[in-house]
Structure 1
Amino acid sequence: MSAQNSAGIQTLLDAEREASKIVQRAREFRTKRVKEARDEAKKEIAEYKASKEDEFKKFEAEHSKGNEAAEQEANKEAEKQIEVIKEAGKKNQATVVKNLLDAVFEVKPVAA
């Protein structure tokens, strides 16, 4: 009977070792699969990011042309207005200087 018990115990130990090996292989497989999934997800994210960056660059290129034209037009308009102001300054410069000198040199006392 002892031989049968010993053989039965040995069979159970062998089965436990086999089960342990199967569990270990399953863990290794799961770990490997998780790593693969993570790497695949990183790759997809990088591709998606690159795609969106390309879309943004195209969008920016299309819309910056309109901004450049508007900016140039605004600069031209500003230059025109500056020229008008300069011309007005040159035209009235002598009168302004004369009025300032008159105000400084001709004192008119006022009762307060």
Structure 2
Amino acid sequence: MAAQQSQGIQTLLEAEKEAAKIVQEARQYRVQRLKDARAEAAKEIEQYKQAKEEEFRAFESSHAGTTSSAQSAIDKETEENLQRITNSYEQAKDAVVKKLLDRVMQVQPELHRNLKKLNA
């Protein structure tokens, strides 16, 4: 009976070692799956990031022409306005200077109104 108990204990020890081995393999498998999942997630994130960057570049390039054409239209309009203002200045400057000189030269000396009231 002692041999049978010893053999039963030996079988239990072997079963325990086998179970520990299975648990260890399961842990290693789980760790490996986590590493694989992280690597796969990082790869997907990088792909998504690249796709969004390409989408942004396409959007930017499609609207860059609009911006440059709008800028050129604004520059043209500004140049036209400056030319119009310059022409207006050139046409009116002599008349304005003449009016200013006429007003300055038309001095009519008279007593101040408060001084007239004191004398009256």
Aligned residues: 112
Which sections of structure 2, spanning at least 5 residues, go unmatched? 115-120
Is residue 37 of structure 2 the alignment partner of residue 41 of structure 1?
Answer: no
Q: 1:105 to 1:17 in 2, by over 3 A?
A: farther
Q: Percent identity?
A: 46
Shift of the alpha carbon at 1:62? 1.4
Offset from partner CA, 1:52-111 (integer Å, 9 cap, x none)? 211221121112212211221111011101111122222222343455566667667875
Q: Which amino acid aligns with 2:40?
A: E
2:76 — aligned with what? 76
1:62 — aligned with what? 62
- Looking at structure 1, the residues matched to 64 and 35 of structure 2 have their Cα atoms a distance apart, in angstroms, of 43
Shift of the alpha carbon at 1:48? 1.9
Is residue 11 of structure 2 the alignment partner of residue 17 of structure 1?
Answer: no
- Looking at structure 2, the residues matched to 8 and 45 of structure 1 have their Cα atoms a distance apart, in angstroms, of 55
Alpha carbon RMSD of aligned pairs, Å? 2.6
TM-score, normalised with respect to structure 2: 0.75
Q: 1:18 to 1:104 in 2, by over 3 A?
A: farther
Is residue 30 of structure 2 the alignment partner of residue 30 of structure 1?
Answer: yes
Shift of the alpha carbon at 1:28? 0.4
- Looking at structure 2, the residues matched to 90 and 20 of structure 1 have their Cα atoms a distance apart, in angstroms, of 101
Which sections of structure 1, spanning at least 5 residues, go unmatched? none
Most deviating of 83-92 and 68-77: 83-92
Q: Which amino acid aligns with 1:64?
A: A
Structure showing greater Rg: 2
Shift of the alpha carbon at 1:16? 0.8
